[in-house]
Protein backbone atom coordinates (compact mmCIF):
# COMPACT_ATOMS: atom_id res chain seq x y z
CA UNK A 1 0.00 0.00 0.00
CA UNK A 2 1.34 3.42 -0.96
CA UNK A 3 0.31 6.01 1.61
CA UNK A 4 -1.58 9.04 0.36
CA UNK A 5 0.80 11.80 -0.57
CA UNK A 6 1.08 15.08 -2.42
CA UNK A 7 3.79 15.68 -4.99
CA UNK A 8 4.77 18.56 -7.22
CA UNK A 9 4.70 18.12 -10.98
CA UNK A 10 6.54 20.21 -13.54
CA UNK A 11 5.84 20.05 -17.26
CA UNK A 12 7.97 21.81 -19.82
CA UNK A 13 7.41 21.54 -23.56
CA UNK A 14 7.25 23.69 -26.65
CA UNK A 15 4.19 24.49 -28.75
CA UNK A 16 3.89 26.13 -32.16
CA UNK A 17 1.41 28.92 -32.72
CA UNK A 18 0.73 29.69 -36.38
CA UNK A 19 0.51 33.27 -37.60
CA UNK A 20 -2.68 34.85 -36.33
CA UNK A 21 -4.19 38.29 -36.07
CA UNK A 22 -4.81 39.87 -32.68
CA UNK A 23 -7.94 38.37 -31.20
CA UNK A 24 -9.57 41.72 -30.49
CA UNK A 25 -9.59 42.40 -34.24
CA UNK A 26 -11.35 39.14 -35.07
CA UNK A 27 -14.81 39.77 -36.52
CA UNK A 28 -16.28 37.07 -34.27
CA UNK A 29 -14.76 38.45 -31.05
CA UNK A 30 -17.93 40.48 -30.47
CA UNK A 31 -19.85 37.18 -30.35
CA UNK A 32 -17.53 35.99 -27.57
CA UNK A 33 -18.21 39.15 -25.57
CA UNK A 34 -21.94 38.85 -26.26
CA UNK A 35 -21.91 35.22 -25.05
CA UNK A 36 -20.15 36.30 -21.88
CA UNK A 37 -22.58 39.18 -21.25
CA UNK A 38 -25.56 36.87 -21.81
CA UNK A 39 -24.34 34.01 -19.59
CA UNK A 40 -22.04 35.38 -16.86
CA UNK A 41 -24.82 36.23 -14.38
CA UNK A 42 -25.77 32.58 -13.94
CA UNK A 43 -22.38 31.02 -14.76
CA UNK A 44 -20.37 28.82 -12.40
CA UNK A 45 -17.01 27.16 -12.74
CA UNK A 46 -17.48 23.88 -14.63
CA UNK A 47 -15.63 22.06 -11.85
CA UNK A 48 -18.02 23.47 -9.24
CA UNK A 49 -20.98 22.48 -11.42
CA UNK A 50 -19.55 18.97 -11.66
CA UNK A 51 -18.72 18.52 -7.98
CA UNK A 52 -20.90 20.99 -6.13
CA UNK A 53 -19.38 22.76 -3.19
CA UNK A 54 -16.73 20.11 -2.49
CA UNK A 55 -14.24 21.50 -4.98
CA UNK A 56 -11.91 24.42 -4.33
CA UNK A 57 -12.57 27.32 -6.72
CA UNK A 58 -10.83 30.67 -6.54
CA UNK A 59 -10.75 33.87 -8.51
CA UNK A 60 -13.22 35.19 -11.00
CA UNK A 61 -14.91 33.32 -13.80
CA UNK A 62 -13.16 33.10 -17.16
CA UNK A 63 -14.33 31.64 -20.45
CA UNK A 64 -12.13 28.78 -21.63
CA UNK A 65 -11.91 27.71 -25.28
CA UNK A 66 -12.45 24.05 -24.46
CA UNK A 67 -11.64 22.46 -27.83
CA UNK A 68 -9.62 24.95 -29.90
CA UNK A 69 -7.68 27.97 -28.72
CA UNK A 70 -8.10 31.06 -30.87
CA UNK A 71 -4.35 31.31 -31.46
CA UNK A 72 -4.27 27.80 -32.98
CA UNK A 73 -7.30 28.22 -35.23
CA UNK A 74 -5.23 28.94 -38.34
CA UNK A 75 -3.62 25.53 -38.15
CA UNK A 76 -6.72 23.45 -37.41
CA UNK A 77 -7.71 20.56 -39.68
CA UNK A 78 -11.33 21.56 -40.23
CA UNK A 79 -12.40 18.01 -41.13
CA UNK A 80 -11.39 16.86 -37.65
CA UNK A 81 -13.35 19.66 -35.98
CA UNK A 82 -16.40 18.88 -38.14
CA UNK A 83 -16.18 15.24 -37.11
CA UNK A 84 -16.58 16.16 -33.41
CA UNK A 85 -18.79 19.25 -33.68
CA UNK A 86 -21.64 18.93 -36.22
CA UNK A 87 -22.48 22.61 -35.91
CA UNK A 88 -19.20 23.31 -37.72
CA UNK A 89 -19.65 22.70 -41.47
CA UNK A 90 -17.35 25.23 -43.14
CA UNK A 91 -14.75 27.90 -42.39
CA UNK A 92 -17.33 30.54 -41.51
CA UNK A 93 -19.25 28.31 -39.08
CA UNK A 94 -15.93 27.24 -37.56
CA UNK A 95 -14.86 30.84 -36.93
CA UNK A 96 -18.27 31.66 -35.41
CA UNK A 97 -18.24 28.50 -33.24
CA UNK A 98 -14.69 29.22 -32.10
CA UNK A 99 -15.84 32.38 -30.31
CA UNK A 100 -19.43 31.67 -29.40
CA UNK A 101 -20.32 28.02 -29.34
CA UNK A 102 -21.69 26.60 -26.12
CA UNK A 103 -19.81 23.38 -26.94
CA UNK A 104 -16.60 25.38 -27.28
CA UNK A 105 -16.79 27.91 -24.43
CA UNK A 106 -16.69 26.68 -20.83
CA UNK A 107 -16.62 28.77 -17.68
CA UNK A 108 -13.78 28.03 -15.28
CA UNK A 109 -12.64 29.94 -12.23
CA UNK A 110 -9.13 31.39 -12.40
CA UNK A 111 -7.81 28.51 -10.26
CA UNK A 112 -9.20 25.89 -12.66
CA UNK A 113 -8.35 27.89 -15.80
CA UNK A 114 -4.86 29.36 -15.37
CA UNK A 115 -4.00 28.61 -11.74
CA UNK A 116 -2.10 25.70 -10.22
CA UNK A 117 -5.04 23.38 -10.96
CA UNK A 118 -5.76 25.02 -14.30
CA UNK A 119 -6.54 23.31 -17.55
CA UNK A 120 -3.83 25.48 -19.14
CA UNK A 121 -1.27 24.42 -16.52
CA UNK A 122 -1.68 20.74 -15.68
CA UNK A 123 -1.11 17.82 -18.06
CA UNK A 124 -4.05 16.40 -19.98
CA UNK A 125 -3.74 13.20 -17.95
CA UNK A 126 -3.96 15.11 -14.67
CA UNK A 127 -6.87 17.26 -15.91
CA UNK A 128 -8.69 14.14 -17.02
CA UNK A 129 -8.11 12.43 -13.68
CA UNK A 130 -9.47 15.49 -11.89
CA UNK A 131 -12.74 15.10 -13.80
CA UNK A 132 -13.34 11.95 -11.72
CA UNK A 133 -11.32 12.64 -8.57
CA UNK A 134 -12.23 16.08 -7.25
CA UNK A 135 -9.43 16.16 -4.68
CA UNK A 136 -6.69 15.23 -7.13
CA UNK A 137 -5.68 18.74 -8.21
CA UNK A 138 -4.76 20.87 -5.21
ZN1 LIG B 1 -13.15 26.31 -10.21
Q: How far is CA 86 from CA 46, 78, 128, in A?
A: 23, 11, 24
Q: Give 10-35 pLDDT, tens digit per residue.
A: 888 898 988 888 888 888 888 899 99
| Ligand 1 center–CA 94 separation, angstroms | 28
Every domain of the chain and the residues it spans: 23-130
| Ligand 1 center–CA 112 separation, angstroms | 5
| Ligand 1 center–CA 119 separation, angstroms | 10
| Ligand 1 center–CA 49 separation, angstroms | 9
Q: DSSP code of 2?
A: P
Between 43 and 138, the more confident residue is: 43
| Ligand 1 center–CA 118 separation, angstroms | 9
| Ligand 1 center–CA 53 separation, angstroms | 10
Instruction: Tell me what pLDDT residue 39 has.
Output: 94
Would you state the torsion angle of the CA atoms of residues 10, 15, 57, 129, taken in this order, to the nearest 10 degrees? -70
Between 21 and 99, the more confident residue is: 99
Cα–Cα distance, 138 to 136 (Å, whole number): 6
Q: What is the pTM of this model?
A: 0.87
| Ligand 1 center–CA 24 separation, angstroms | 26
Amino acid sequence: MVAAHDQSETHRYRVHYPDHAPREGDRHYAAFEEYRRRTIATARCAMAVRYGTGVHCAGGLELHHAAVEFAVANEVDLSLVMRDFPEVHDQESFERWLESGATQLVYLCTHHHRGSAGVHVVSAADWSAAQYAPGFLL
